[in-house]
Amino acid sequence: MAKGFLLVISGPSGSGKGTVSAALMAKHQDIKFSTSVTTRPPRPSEVDGENYFFRTQAEFERMVEEDQLLEYAFVHTNYYGTPKDFVFSEVEKGEIVLLEIDVQGAMQIKEKYKEAVFIFLLPPTMEELKQRIIGRGTESEEDIKTRFSNAFKELDFVGEYDYFVVNDQVDQAVEDIENIIAAEKLRVKRQKNIKEDMIRKGELD
Amino acid sequence: MAKGFLLVISGPSGSGKGTVSAALMAKHQDIKFSTSVTTRPPRPSEVDGENYFFRTQAEFERMVEEDQLLEYAFVHTNYYGTPKDFVFSEVEKGEIVLLEIDVQGAMQIKEKYKEAVFIFLLPPTMEELKQRIIGRGTESEEDIKTRFSNAFKELDFVGEYDYFVVNDQVDQAVEDIENIIAAEKLRVKRQKNIKEDMIRKGELD
């Protein structure tokens, strides 16, 4: 039996990582979405352990101290993080766990969990990246400049990733990631006992 | 522009590496077959630099001394080897070079050229492996025993490979290898200048 893996889909603002991840999940019901821990209060429809693991700030801070998170960030007024427990137990069961995350979060994970599969997503050109950031229409000119300048700086981290996928057409990017998943499933390092399995499956003289 | 890579398809006797490699080549004319150096005299139809690089024994031995070969072996009365020059220059041009080779040869390459992509091929069971060795019909009972025992020992080297492909149906094994090739093309380490390319392709403010 083979182990699964954590698939980290990442890239700067405007890379389309959210759209591509959603399209991938829609096609592959068997991929598990990584469930985050947060200190944000649950909304009426949200279920603990399903949408998020909802924790108090004290609980979250203890998780940080006890190194129970693969990465975390403080966003606006709340903490968000990726619990090791959930990811590791799913991976051990053979599942593929998808985590869509910004470059800073991915770099935190890389430090703690090199065994994850890291994909860096980018639009085909910087101009396209800029258009996508502008295209959101929700940001001020100042915000757009900051986002674009950050995206540009984040290109320096691509060398830390395993794969580089150009997100020109979403369908093509999804197909590239499907190929990566198929290949990663065949990795020797994730097979547990190749020789033992072969022996068990066939009688020897 | 991305670099290509050397794809090493390997496995013990009876793994079907020859059949799978031929089926893969037949489907993908763009994959280059690695041309070997040999001291065997050319047959009338054979062309130097196409079927083989034909060399004298003295020339071959100098190549060994000068570390110009990724691997070599003495088979029956002749030397056979894989020239670095050919492989490296094709890889630099962006080509995928296929080399089908036994486990010992693959381990020699692994020592000299870790950047190659190593695939270990096996039938689904040891029983099936044995049947395939017997099925050739050209070997004595003693030879079959030796081949089978060697194949069994060679399973210990699977940990040195990148990928493990079960060759139950040839078509499925070829498809697995196609997925590996597609994924390996997306590897960050083979991209030359991701950031520079992005900048060149789009104007910056």
Neighboring chain A residues of B176 at a CB cutoff of 8 Å: 182, 186
Nearest 5°: phi and psi at A16?
85, 20
Cβ contact A201–B165 (<8 Å): no
Neighboring chain A residues of B179 at a CB cutoff of 8 Å: 179, 182-183, 186
Question: In whole angstroms, what is the distance from residue A126 CA to residue A104 CA?
Answer: 20
- Please tell me the predicted confidence (pLDDT) of residue B204: 47
Neighboring chain A residues of B161 at a CB cutoff of 8 Å: 188
The average confidence (pLDDT) of chain B is 92
* Residue A170, SS3 per DSSP: helix
Contacts of A97 by beta carbon, 8 Å cutoff, 6+ apart:
A4, A5, A6, A7, A31, A32, A33, A34, A86, A87, A90, A91
Mean pLDDT of A152-173: 95
Q: Residue B134's pLDDT band (boundaries 50, 70, 90)? A: confident
Q: Residue A122's pLDDT band (boundaries 50, 70, 90)? A: very high
How much of chain A exceeds pLDDT 90, in percent? 75
Q: Of all helices (H) and strands (E), which one includes residue B122?
A: strand B117-122
Reply yes or no on whether the pLDDT at B14 is more than 60.
yes
* Residue B46, SS3 per DSSP: coil
Among A189-193, B26-30, B83-87, the minimum mean pLDDT is found in A189-193
**Strands of B52-54's sheet in order across:** B52-54, B36-38, B78-83, B69-75
User: Which among B161, B187, B203 has CB closest to A162?
Assistant: B187
- Please tell me the predicted confidence (pLDDT) of residue B183: 97
Question: In whole angstroms, what is the distance from residue B78 CA to residue A96 CA?
Answer: 49
- Please tell me the predicted confidence (pLDDT) of residue A172: 97
Supply the DSSP string of A83-148, one letter for each residue.
Answer: EHHHHHHHHHTT-EEEEEE-HHHHHHHHHH-TTSEEEEEE-SSHHHHHHHHHHT--S-HHHHHHHH
- Please tell me the predicted confidence (pLDDT) of residue A202: 55
- Please tell me the predicted confidence (pLDDT) of residue B140: 85
Mutate to test the interface with A, among B142, B174, B179 (most CBs of A within 10 A): B179
Q: What angle do CA A87, A100, A74 make, to 5 degrees?
A: 85
Count of A–B CB contacts within 8 Å? 105
**Strands of A163-166's sheet in order across:** A32-33, A96-101, A5-10, A117-122, A163-166
How much of chain A exceeds pLDDT 70, in percent? 97
What angle do the packed helices B126-135 and A194-201 form, to 10 degrees? Answer: 70
User: Which among A125, A163, A179 has CB closest to B202?
Assistant: A125
Q: Residue A19's pLDDT band (boundaries 50, 70, 90)? A: very high
Contacts of B193 by beta carbon, 8 Å cutoff, 6+ apart:
none
Question: In whole angstroms, what is the distance from residue B156 CA to residue A195 CA?
Answer: 7
Cβ contact A163–B188 (<8 Å): yes
Q: Which residue has the tokens 């080897």?
A: B81
User: Which among B159, B165, B188 has CB closest to A164?
Assistant: B188
Q: What is the CB neighbour count within 10 angstroms for residue A44?
A: 4
Cβ contact B202–A164 (<8 Å): no
Cβ contact A194–B126 (<8 Å): no
Q: Residue B202's pLDDT band (boundaries 50, 70, 90)? A: low
Sign, Cα dihedral of A113, A115, A116, A120: positive
Least CA distance to A173: which residue of chain B? B186
Mean pLDDT of A48-75: 95
Residue A36's beta-bridge partner residues? A52
Neighboring chain B residues of A162 at a CB cutoff of 8 Å: 187-188
* Residue B76, SS3 per DSSP: coil
Neighboring chain A residues of B128 at a CB cutoff of 8 Å: 202
Neighboring chain B residues of A202 at a CB cutoff of 8 Å: 125-130
Neighboring chain B residues of A205 at a CB cutoff of 8 Å: 148
Question: In whole angstroms, what is the distance from residue B102 CA to residue B118 CA?
Answer: 12
CA of B153 vs chain A CAs: smallest distance (Å): 10
Reply yes or no on whether the pLDDT at A118 is more than 90.
yes
- B107-119 pLDDT, tens digit each: 999 999 999 999 9
Neighboring chain B residues of A194 at a CB cutoff of 8 Å: 122, 155, 158, 164
- Please tell me the predicted confidence (pLDDT) of residue B205: 43
Mean pLDDT of A163-190: 96
Reply yes or no on whether the pLDDT at A1 is more than 80.
no
Q: Which residue has the tokens 């290109």?
A: A155
Reply yes or no on whether the pLDDT at A205 is more than 50.
no
- B59-79 pLDDT, tens digit each: 999 999 999 999 999 988 999
* Residue B36, SS3 per DSSP: strand
* Residue B180, SS3 per DSSP: helix
User: Which among A125, A158, A187 has CB closest to B163?
Assistant: A187
Question: In whole angstroms, what is the distance from residue B41 CA to residue B55 CA?
Answer: 8
Reply yes or no on whether the pLDDT at A16 is more than 80.
yes
ipTM value for the complex: 0.90
User: Which among A124, A164, A194 has CB closest to B155?
Assistant: A194
Identity at B52, one-letter amino acid code: Y
Mean pLDDT of B33-40: 95
